[in-house]
Structure 1
Amino acid sequence: MKVDVSRETMDLLKEFQALAEKWNSRINLVSGSTLPAFWDRHISDSLQIFENAAPFSGHWADLGSGGGFPGIVLAVAFRETDLSFTLVESDQRKATFLRTAIRELSLTNAKVKCDRIERIPSLNADYVSARALAGLPVLLTFLDLHLRASGEAWLLKGRNWQAEVDEARENWAFNLETFPSKTSDEAAVLKVSEVSHV
């Protein structure tokens, strides 16, 4: 998948890939089976949010950041905007990796909060992202807590995304816009806004 980013952004993302692959032998940041296709499976996949979202300022919360997908990738791609990123990760070792990546890539627009998503006070974020974190019904409880009323969430979902949407609609009202994934025929990028309990 071709990604339209600057040379400097591409260089930083390659640096991040090298760092993640180095750490992956000690901490399971991504599945070992995906390492040969690391760029497409993780970086290009995360960049789909950058290609579809158009924010220039505000607070972006990445929930369950894990190995930095999509949080670190987006912080790199949006580093010349006025966005600030909070990466939420409860695993101490992964949080340490994220802080290392932020330092080594000189990302002054990002910080890490090491705690459980449901335990921290509302982040009141303008934007929220998540990838491979939980089913949509659970994600909506997180959005209800951390996404401001006028905000939008960008969620990378796999092959069961339509079933998750149908289940979520039983208890939640929300606006939904979908974009076909460029990295998997069955996956989708979901843009969710105006979340409320039914």
Structure 2
Amino acid sequence: MKEPKPWVKPVLELGPVLIFFLVFILKRGETTVIAGQEYSAFILATLVFIPALALATLIQWRLTGKLAPMQIATLVLVIVFGGLSVWLNDPRFFKMKPTMIYLLFAAILGYSLLARKNWLQAVLSEALPMDALGWRKLTLRMALLFLALAVANEVVWRTMSETTWVYFKTFGLPLILFVFLMGNAGLYRAHAIQTDADEGNPDNGRK
């Protein structure tokens, strides 16, 4: 199967989130009536986000022929919690969704450590070749990160304004994840292993 262009995956992953953000910002302070029911900007944005994420996930699956388990889990939780928010016209369920996702990820990674199974390595080893110790360290750090993000999400949506939570969800959480990944550059270098491509590269080690 032909690999999609490099920009396709980021667009499919970030597109639904940006659509949610734009709908919320454009409709903020207004109510929309659908089938005789009034919906706030947040609920309307949630209603648009659910099919947008489902479509983006379907397109990615069609293009690559595979989906990561975390992508599937995220889609299921979005449908469940987002659907409850729309059905009950209550934004709290969708705001709790990131907490549930991060707790699930933390639990999966924590169990993989206890069971001595490098599930993170199985998912990311092609992009990030490291030895077993490196993967265990990264797994522990990511499990702790997801726990911290779950707590942070609960604090923000329960104590701050709806607009603040939307900005936090759209920009804050991805930025934290990016900083975390960049902050572990030393771990990647310390536990890197040489791949077949590196061994066959005559220029390897000359720079």
Q: Tell me if both proteins adopt one fold, taking TM over 0.5 as the criterion.
A: no
TM-score between both structures, scaled by the size of structure 2: 0.26
Instruction: Give the strand-richer structure, 1 or 2.
Output: 1
Instruction: Give the helix-richer structure, 1 or 2.
Output: 2
Greater C-alpha Rg? 2
TM-score between both structures, scaled by the size of structure 1: 0.27
